[in-house]
């Protein structure tokens, strides 16, 4: 069974590049959000939804 390591390494390199780009974009987005706070999400304006309460409960466990 032939394994093409060059192809695997090339694919890994591509995925790693995509991951790094995504992390960079996320970091910039978070930095931007911290300097310019957005308005609260609609869920908080209307008192929250059941899914938000579930998420809070799950994170407390």
> Would you give the end-to-end CA distance of the chain in angstroms?
47
Q: What is the pLDDT of residues 1-54, one digit of tens each?
A: 788 999 999 999 999 999 999 999 999 998 887 776 556 666 666 555 555 455
CB 52 within 8 A of CB 43: yes
| Rg, Å, the chain Cα set | 20
The pTM (predicted TM-score) of the whole model is 0.47
Q: How far apart are CA 15 and CA 61, in angstroms?
A: 34
Q: How far apart are CA 41 and CA 30, in angstroms?
A: 16
């Amino acid at each position: 069974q032939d394994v093409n390591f060059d192809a695997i390494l090339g694919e890994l390199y591509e995925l790693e590049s995509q991951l790094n780009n995504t992390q960079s974009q996320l970091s910039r987005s978070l930095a931007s959000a911290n300097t310019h706070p957005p308005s609260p999400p609609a869920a908080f304006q209307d008192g929250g939804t059941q899914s938000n309460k579930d998420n809070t409960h799950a994170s407390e466990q």
